[in-house]
Amino acid sequence: MSALIACLVLIAAVAPAYGKDYTVGDSSGWSSGVDYTTWAKGKTFNVGDNLVFQYSAMHTVAEVSSADYSACSTSNSIQSYSDQNTKIALTAPGTRYFVCGTPGHCSGGMKLAVTVAAATTPAASPPEAPSTTPAAPGTETPPDQTTTPSTPAAPTTTGSTSGAAGGSGIVMGLSAGAAALVGVALMG
Ligand SMILES: [Cu+2]
């Protein structure tokens, strides 16, 4: 549970950032002997961010499918790079898989899977506008229903005669008023 909260806090903290460049492996770069699962853990990659692979001539970067990532196969790689400074734009949500094409390196742990989160920018404005209008009618009606049953209980003890007289007086007043209105309406 606390891990989930930590994740949410991280997402909330990182989400507003735009176009971040992540140097894979940080100061270690793209190399043998680095645990890239650990490196990627705790980072939130968003659409618009970039992965920067920095490596020596003995390594390559191959983007592969999930199955080829597991099998450490680069024979069907989606893209392959060997320029030693490869910047890969994360243009869409989803998981992307990278391995080193040098024999033995991927199986030795030189592989990286990165999950790109869906864009969160349009969600910021809509929640504010609908909350003001629909909330008012929904919350106002229930309190009236709860308060009305408590009021009739009080007048019964003070006197049924005066209460009834007052009530009939109001009724008479109301009917007189209604008659006057009808009269005005007829005259008009
Ligand atoms: Cu390598």
For the chain, percent of residues with pLDDT exceeding 90: 52
Q: What pLDDT is stored for residue 107 in this prediction?
A: 97
Q: Quote the ligand 1 centre to 75 CA distance (angstroms).
A: 15
Please give the C-alpha separations between residue 57 and each of 60, 61, 98, in angstroms, as whole numbers.
7, 11, 17
Please write the tens of the pLDDT for every residue from 27-70. Answer: 999 999 999 999 999 999 999 999 999 999 999 999 999 999 99
**What confidence tens digit (pLDDT) does each residue in 87-135 have?**
999 999 999 999 999 999 999 999 999 999 986 655 444 444 444 444 4
Bridge partners of 89?
A: 50
For residue 76, the CA-to-ligand 1 centroid distance in Å is 17
Calculate how far, in angstroms, residue 53's C-alpha sits from the geometric centre of ligand 1.
11
The answer for residues whose C-beta is within 8 angstroms of residue 37's C-beta and 6 or more apart is 112, 113
Q: What is the pLDDT of residue 131?
A: 44
Reported pTM: 0.56
DSSP characters over the chain = -HHHHHHHHHHHHHTT--S-EEETTGGG-S-TT--HHHHHTT--EETT-EEEEE--TT--EEEE-HHHHHHT--TT-SEEE-SSEEEEE--SSEEEEEE--STTTTTTT-EEEEEEEPP-GGGSSTTHHHHHHHHHHHHHHHHHHHHGGGTTTTHHHH-HHHHHHHHHHHHHHHHHHHHHHHHHHHH-
CA of 59 to the centre of ligand 1 (A): 4
CB atoms within 10 A of CB 86: 21
Query: What is the 62 CA–ligand 1 centroid distance (Å)?
Result: 10
Go through the domains of the chain in sequence order and give each one's CATH number: 2-120 (2.60.40.420)
Do the Cβ atoms of 50 and 89 come closer than 8 Å? yes
The CA 111 to ligand 1 mean position distance, Å, reads 9
